[in-house]
Structure 1
């Protein structure tokens, strides 16, 4: 569909992160999210919107006959000479479905050095991913660059001849030299089963797309206890909140003491017209102090994301 190709191409040129289709007054507004703000780009008829919706669901291998249940998927599209990965989410909204497209931009191929704002954070990431086992947890709100940083880490580890296997829902971006497993609930492949199968594939590094329930959390811990480096993401407000989520999932302080190497909570920021990642973190002594705080209530301090933001001049927080 030419209209959709032009729309996605325009979104890429404008560096939009998402395309929203918003039903309004008998038509459909098309909006781009740019630097965390929504901007009206175009308006189409509701009839044309329904045709676009069916086409998008077809391209994403989603069920065309389901409109009352949320669905998600992904597809690739050529924009100029570049292949762009598009993630799609649908939600039932009265008689229509609401559709949002997430655009995986070129930042996915950025190096760790180019992505991270602070040199101390670069050194921390490199030293931590040099370990052979344990769990690295990357947290933050939606759109804060968690997937971007994760792919940068995996691409670096790939240069060290590490065997990397991922399980994602959906696969955000296909990379050569990495084995990527797609969650497929219909075929019985969820995160829990997928991790069990991955462990039989002799990996050095396992990436679990997102920890969002008890089974996935316990699978990540189990994999890191078997001598593998596990990297995963989670939605959380801060590092301490991420640890509390693990406990809500039924994990013990002992489990976390034995497996957690690093917890970061990040934000996407702009400085000198360049997008960078800034984060707070818990590791080594600060991580041990955080776990002791949860266990005993003994107070501790660590540098929060707000402290980093206030310390840096000319910074604008995107997400």
Structure 2
């Protein structure tokens, strides 16, 4: 598969009137790959819907599925998604390598940020929140954090994911299945009965999930999770908007990290990206919780990008 050879994270099939455009997302950039005839696309769509156990006859509703794929003795999970469009369906495929999970040390561009995240993991209870847009590395960082826990301590770790993106050794991974009734809320209730030390919730999507996350922290668990938000201060506003009380945030929130992935230009890092983070913790987090509506003017990402450019890690184009 050319997409894997080019280290693409996603494949997008975008139907037009007379043909279908195929795009690859490589290092966060969406790149036009080629165009294929509509008749050929229909065969590809039918194949992926069949192998992903989707309803081939259903074209009016969005559908999701997962396929295992092997290339050059390496295992990948293909997360497929269809979306109804005018007279047809679009198809999106997320490519998830299964063979390895990056360590925290490999993931972060700057060692001091790696060291700070490691300190967060020493907490026995509380909530660590990772934020950022789709494709910013939130889930990859979550897996790296859990891997670090599991390798160093004999902690009972349970994850709730929709879907499970990578297999994680020595952890119990629970696949959310809305159609069968296994929602995040039902899963979290069951997880708490299994006496975990660490809980990973794939994503806070609604008020009920947010409430359970902070309830789990109150009852003596360390919870790692993600939330879609523009930045760290925006995360606080989103949680307050979901109905989470400021007192709960003050009592349980350990840190918020907003992630951004930078494409590395050095030859030895070919086709790799590394994370930089804007973080709220300690006193800065306390101040942000006290005045959550205060305008956030410091662009930490811009400072970090300039630092990365000065060290020669990224191109000038990636600096802005």
TM-score norm. by structure 1 comes to: 0.91
Match of 2:307 among 296, 299, 311: 311
* In 2, Cα distance between equivalents of 1:304 and 1:183: 35
Q: Quick one: distance in 2 between partners of 1:79 and 1:311?
A: 38
1:264-293 Cα offsets, whole Å, 9 max, x none, are: 001000232441100100011111010011
CA deviation map 1:4-30 (0-9, x unaligned): xxxxx3111101111011112322222
Distance 1:90 1:35, change over 3 A: same
Q: Would the alpha carbon gap of residues 63 and 132 (structure 1) be closer, same or farther in structure 2, given more than 3 Å must change?
A: farther
- Asked if residue 164 in structure 1 is aligned to residue 157 in structure 2, the reply is yes
- After superposition, residues 41-120 of structure 1 pair within 5 angstroms as 41-105=33-97, 109-120=101-112
Distance 2:54 2:12 in 1: 18
SS for the counterpart of 1:194 is helix
Other-structure match for 1:4 = none
**Contact 1:35–1:318 (CA<8 Å) still a contact in 2?**
no
Matched-pair contact (CA < 8 Å) for 2:197–2:222: yes
Q: When the two structures are aligned, how many residues end up with a matched partner?
A: 309
Partner of residue 291, structure 1: 289
User: Of 14, 33, 44, which residue of structure 1 is paired with 2:25?
Assistant: 33
The answer to whether 1:22 aligns with 2:14 is yes
Structure 1 position 258 matched with structure 2 position 247 = no
Q: Bigger shift: 48-57 or 221-230? A: 48-57
For residue 70 of structure 1, report the CA deviation from its aligned partner: 1.7
Q: Secondary structure at the match of 1:90?
A: strand
TM-align CA RMSD: 2.1
Gaps of 5+ in 2: none
CA distance in 1, matches of 2:261, 2:253: 24
- Contact residue 107 and residue 148 of structure 1 kept, 8 A: no
Query: Normalization by structure 2: what TM-score?
Result: 0.90
Supply the distance in 2 between the matched residues of 1:113 and 1:308 (Cα, whole angstroms). 17
